[in-house]
Amino acid sequence: MVSKAMEDREILETISEIARRHLQWSGSLEPSQRLVEALALESIRLLTLVVELENHFKICLDEQDEAGLTTVGDLVAAIRSKLA
Amino acid sequence: VRPAPTIAGVGRAFPEHYYDQETLLTAFRELWARRHHNLDRLEALHRNVLVGGRHLALPLEQYAGLTTWGQANDAWIRVALDVGETAMREALGAAGLGVEDVDALIFVTVTGIATPSIDARLVNRMGLPRRIKRMPIFGLGCVAGAAGVARAADYVRAWPGEVAVLLSVELCSLTVQRQDLSIPNLIATGLFGDGAAAVVVVGAERPARGPRIVATRSVFYPDSEEVMGWEISEEGFRVVLSADVPNVVLEHARRDVDAFLAEHGLSRAEIEVWISHPGGPKVLGALEQALELPDGALEASWRTLREVGNLSSTSVLLVLKEALEERCPAPGAYGLMLAMGPGFCSELVLLRW
């Protein structure tokens, strides 16, 4: 069974990869970083990130999930809970 | 004071194929399903642009058959000539003028290309005068409706005995990249529609009824090329759209409008008729906020957005037509036409009835 820590690392890597491919972003992501600032997200970039994450993980994030997203770690947790 | 040109007539034309947003959504869902998982989210995105329906250059089922840019552009030329001629004839009729009266023709578009340009082809098709001076302008995008009126006014200020016609044709549906399922393209496919409008501007030495073009102002915003535009590839036009457009409005509109009006001894409170390019809901909301406009001031822009979508440069001319023909402001009333577009830049046109 995949541990929670391992799963979180893989999710974080996937977020980074999607940001590189679809947001022309480069750098490293840490769970403690503030999501909007770390990825320079305005509304269209945020939507692009969310849609591509939904496509990759075959999940649907709803408004309630998104309302609580402050840090990169929050996004990782939201995705993990949808995958559970 | 130099005598001012007059807007003597406005015409418009739409392709005959009209689809409500639900019909278009159904068609798009099939396309989106090839790549996207959460279709409800994308559907919500389309609904959020508050467009109720749009005219399309071609019947919906024919778009899948357009596999190259050349095919799409050939369709663009054919339909542009049809709607362009209809809009021009309607505008000339409203102005009480005939094709033989047209001295200059400014043609604006950002959705297709042709050489000879559409204006040249219309000279042959409509029998416009051989002396006509043609000015095809490509690339101004959404600002070209207001900017085109301003350039037509510039022209007849130089030649006050002449008649200039602005023709705007935008067939946005023929630029759609069906394989591009990015968020900016999904927004664009929900927002933009097809149509044409023409404006007859006559010099001060000619008798005419209509609002005078008192003054115009162009404002360029340095280093904002990434806000909006096209990326051009072998497949055609790919939309570039950032979320910064409403921010540009919030940052600049009030200062630019106030400075322009102050030069003419006016303030925003003295503008009775606001004639704005609709952009989208966020742009109109930002404009209302930045200019502290009273409720309903931009109702005609909201309405055209709901009824036919954003038609790029054509849209502001539809709002202008409504102001001329339905609102009928009292003599002496001031109006302000305004639009923004790629550059990024804005154009302001001060009118007086």
Among chain B residues, the shortest Cα distance to A56 is held by B37
Contact criterion met (CB below 8 Å) for A23 and A48: yes
Q: What is the pLDDT of residue A2?
A: 56
Per-residue confidence band for B168, with pLDDT thresholds at 50, 70 and 90: very high
pLDDT score of B155:
98
- The whole-number average pLDDT for the span B257-272 is 98
Burial of A6 (0-12, 13-18, 19+ CB in 10 A): exposed
Percent of chain A residues past pLDDT 70, beyond the cut:
94
Banded model confidence at residue B23, pLDDT cuts 50, 70, 90? very high
- Res. A3: pLDDT tops 80: no
Confidence band (pLDDT; 50, 70, 90) for B54?
very high
What pLDDT does residue B162 have?
Answer: 98
Determine which of B34, B35, B36, B38 to mutate to test the interface with A (most A C-beta atoms within 10 Å). Answer: B38
Task: Count CB pairs under 8 A between chains A and B.
Answer: 38
Distance from CA of A2 to the nearest CA of B (A): 25
A42, A50, A58 ranked by CB distance to B243: nearest: A42
pLDDT at B183: 87
Residue B245 distance to chain A (closest CA, Å): 11
Average pLDDT over residues B184-198: 93
Quick one: average pLDDT of A31-51? 90
Place of tokens 């663009």: B76
pLDDT band at B294 (very low <50, low <70, confident <90, very high): very high
Q: Do B243 and A43 touch (CB under 8 A)?
A: yes
- For B112-123, the pLDDT digits (tens) are 999 999 999 999
pLDDT attached to residue A65: 77
Nearest chain B residue to A49, by CA: B183
CA distance B304 to B296: 13
State the nearest Cα–Cα gap between B243 and chain A, in angstroms: 6
Is B341's pLDDT higher than 70?
Answer: yes
Convert the pLDDT of each residue in B96-151 to its tens digit. 999 999 999 999 999 999 999 999 999 999 999 999 999 999 999 999 999 999 99
- Residue in chain A closest to B241 (alpha carbons) equals A44
Contacts of A54 in chain B (CB under 8 A): 36-38, 41
Secondary structure, 3-state, chain B: CCCCCEEEEEEEECCCEEEEHHHHHHHHHHHHCCCCCCHHHHHHHHHHCCCCEEEECCCHHHHHHCCCHHHHHHHHHHHHHHHHHHHHHHHHHHHCCCHHHCCEEEEEECCCCCCCCHHHHHHHHHCCCCCCEEEEEECCHHHHHHHHHHHHHHHHHHCCCCEEEEEEEEEHHHHCCCCCCCHHHHHHHHHECEEEEEEEEECCCCCCCCCEEEEEEEEECCCCCCCEEEEEECCEEEEEECCCHHHHHHHHHHHHHHHHHHHCCCCHHHEEEEEECCCCHHHHHHHHHHCCCCCCCCHHHHHHHHHHCECHHHHHHHHHHHHHHHHCCCCCCEEEEEEEECCCEEEEEEEEC
**B182, closest residue in chain A (CA to CA):** A48
Q: Residue B31: its pLDDT value, please? A: 85
Segment B247-263 mean pLDDT: 95
Q: Is it the case that residue A8 has pLDDT exceeding 70?
A: yes
8 Å CB contact of A44 and B187: yes
Would you say residue B194 has pLDDT above 70?
Answer: yes
Global pTM reads 0.92
CB distance B36–A59 less than 8 Å?
no
DSSP string, chain A: ---HHHHHHHHHHHHHHHHHHHH---S---TTSBHHHHTT--HHHHHHHHHHHHHHHT----HHHHHT--BHHHHHHHHHHHH-
- CB contact under 8 Å between A44 and B241, yes or no, is yes
The answer to whether residue B273 scores a pLDDT higher than 60 is: yes
> Contact B191/B315 with Cβ under 8 angstroms?
no
Assess: ipTM above 0.85. Answer: no
Ranking A63-72, B31-40, B76-85 by mean pLDDT, the lowest is A63-72
Which active-site residues of B does the annotation give?
142
Structure confidence at residue A84 (pLDDT):
81
Residues of A with CB under 8 A from a CB of B: 22, 42-45, 47-48, 50-51, 54-55, 58-61
Cβ–Cβ gap A54/B37 under 8 Å = yes
